[in-house]
Amino acid sequence: MSSTGRSYYSRDEVAMVQGVWPVELLQDPRRQPRVLNTAGEFVKELLLGDHVEDFVVLPRGTELLDLSFQDSIPEDVRQCLHNCRSAHDFIARVLQRPEMLEKYRADVEYIDPNRQQRDILRKDKLNLSKRIREALRMAEAGEANPALLYVAEMRLQKETPHPIGGENVKTICRRDMKDVLGPLGQWTLYWDRYDEGFFAGGRCSGKGLHVDQVLWSNVGRNYQGYKLLAAWPRGQVSKEVAMEFYDVLFAPPLRPRELEALHKAAKVVLLRPGDVYMFSGGVAHTVICVSQEMCLGVYESFVNLNPFHVDHFLHTADLEGPFFLDSYSMSPRSFRETKDDCLDQLEDAAQHFEKGGLRRVLQETVPVAEAPPSWFQLQLRLLSDDDFLRTLQQHFARAVDLCAGDRYFRRHLLQKVRFASKACGGYGGDVPLRPGQPVDSSSSYSSDMSDVDEKPG
């Protein structure tokens, strides 16, 4: 692992930021990312680490993880993006390809006079042609700044088998971080690459400030261009900033209140081409492109088994308190679908015990022909590390007990999951931890269940 300092960004990179956001925020060592050097370090951090209020970067990660733009993004999308300077250029080209209009869907977003980001024809989400035509009309009529148009969440119209994983997905990406992990990916509480998003925008476009509806993490790939990202501390600070600036794009010239909010950010990071990165989407965050070159990127959402992340995730459907954002928060009823996916993940991990453990599962796994050998070698190296495997199993045990503090989880935990949790040193959900209860890895479980609160759902 390497540390960062005032020299982390070059003069050219600092100059790129000037006039967009205060340079002193970018150069503040406290706000800079944690930089890792190898693919192995990054994957360990992804599966085991706590980055709820951190930002972790693997420079040249798309190369080190064999997740290149050419291998991951479909050729028709790459052709339409060639030499584009803005999302306006990109969608104008897509409009000339009827087969792409039938194949893909995407949000086309603009900035209204109140600086808030809005979806164009949100109700026509499956009609890409209509959305693009309206975006171009608005730009021509002066109703939307064409330079600030942003393409978000581009994905397939219809689900199709993923070329590596084989499961039905709508992501346009042909390679993902989930593929790099192989069977290790099942040792997370949640992973979403079904709806993985692709984003594209020119200078000073981006994504307005928001908190993801599910309090999960994002692992992203910044394929092209430079973009600034700010992330705020979890809980009350994120709530206050989000309630005042939800969907506001922090584009220059910044207003005094926006400057004040940026100075409250925990992290202010400049992402470079080729960076692979992770941070918590369950805190207030915003992104703005700063290079003349168009910014292109994708992300997957996940929840690792680290108890701090599991605890944070379980606050998703709170009905009050520092994680509740009025109409922006996910309802307990909607959150149940995500919980069902988590229960499936825990069951998949538990099945590895029935098959003799993770090491045996990997030994018996036949690598997919389309997968680069580096992924399998990385998985082998990780599973040869006794400390890594031991910590992963401990996190699994604690995650089950934390989930058991939620009534819906406790009711639906399968016996095989409870057994596997006990085999990893936990209580198998028999002594559940409630969200918000201290979860430091060095602390012991409390045997007193008298104050275990049941969350709605």
Does 161 sit behind a cis peptide bond, omega within 30 degrees of 0 on the bond before it?
Answer: no
Mean pLDDT over 224-243 rounds to 98
Q: How does DSSP classify residue 57? A: E
* Cβ contact 149:88 at 8 Å: yes
Mean pLDDT over 14-32 rounds to 96
pLDDT in tens, 30-83: 999 999 999 999 999 999 999 999 999 999 999 999 999 999 999 999 999 999
Crossing angle of helices 87-94 and 128-141, in 10° steps, is: 130
Higher pLDDT, 178 or 364: 178
pLDDT in tens, 263-291: 999 999 999 999 999 999 999 999 999 99
Buried b (16+ CB within 10 A) or exposed e, 62-85: bebbbbebeebbbeebeebbeebe
Name the strand (E) or helix (H) holding 266: none
CA 228/CA 417 separation, integer angstroms: 41
CA 321/CA 335 separation, integer angstroms: 17
CA 60/CA 390 separation, integer angstroms: 29
Band (457; pLDDT cuts 50, 70, 90)? very low
- 3-state class (DSSP) for residue 221: strand
The residue count of the chain comes to: 457
pTM across the whole model = 0.93
Rounded to 5°, the CA angle 196-201-205 comes to 115
pLDDT in tens, 377-418: 999 999 999 999 999 999 999 999 999 999 999 999 999 999
**Out of 2.60.40, 1.20.1070, 2.60.120, 1.10.287, which CATH number does the structure's domain 11-307 have?**
2.60.120
Strand order in the sheet with 267-271: 206-210, 285-289, 227-231, 267-271
CA 401/CA 427 separation, integer angstroms: 7
* Cβ contact 205:149 at 8 Å: yes
DSSP-derived secondary structure for 153-209: EEEESS-EE-TTT-SEE----SS-HHHHHGGGGGSSSEEEEEEEEEEEE-TT-EEEE
pLDDT in tens, 310-321: 999 999 999 999
Band (435; pLDDT cuts 50, 70, 90)? low
Buried b (16+ CB within 10 A) or exposed e, 177-190: bbbbbbbbbbbbbb
- 3-state class (DSSP) for residue 253: coil
What are the residue ranges spanned by the domains of the chain? 11-307, 313-423
Closest CA to 402 of 354, 448, 452: 452
CA dihedral (270, 3, 232, 309) positive or negative: positive
